[in-house]
Amino acid sequence: MPSPTRDEIANALVGHINTEIMGAEHPIESTTPFEDAGIDSMATLKVLLFVESTYGFWIPDEELTDTVIGDAQRLAAYIEQRLSS
């Protein structure tokens, strides 16, 4: 089975965030900075648990930077890279 594309990953992340964290009243886009959307540390943990359960790996603490988890597109790029290596 081929690995999901970056766009597929970003769509899955946004879908999860909008359904489980933000709600219909405050949806985000894939490029919405998590901090600007009000995604706090507890919500970030929910996103990381989603990544682990969906893609099968945990993101190490030292890689939890804005470069990796600043928005859904950046996180999708990181996940895509991890899945392809």
At 85 the pLDDT is 86
pTM of the model: 0.94
Q: Which amino acid is at 76?
A: A
Helix or strand holding residue 69 (H, E): helix 66-69
| pLDDT > 70 in the chain, percent | 99
Determine what percent of the chain falls in helix, strand and coil, rounding each to the nearest 5. Answer: 65, 0, 35
Q: What are the structural domain ranges in the chain?
A: 6-84
pLDDT of amino acid 2: 82
For the segment 2-42, what is each residue's pLDDT rounded down to a tens digit? 899 999 999 999 999 999 999 888 999 999 999 999 999 99
Average pLDDT over residues 48-53: 98
CATH hierarchy code of domain 6-84: 1.10.1200.10
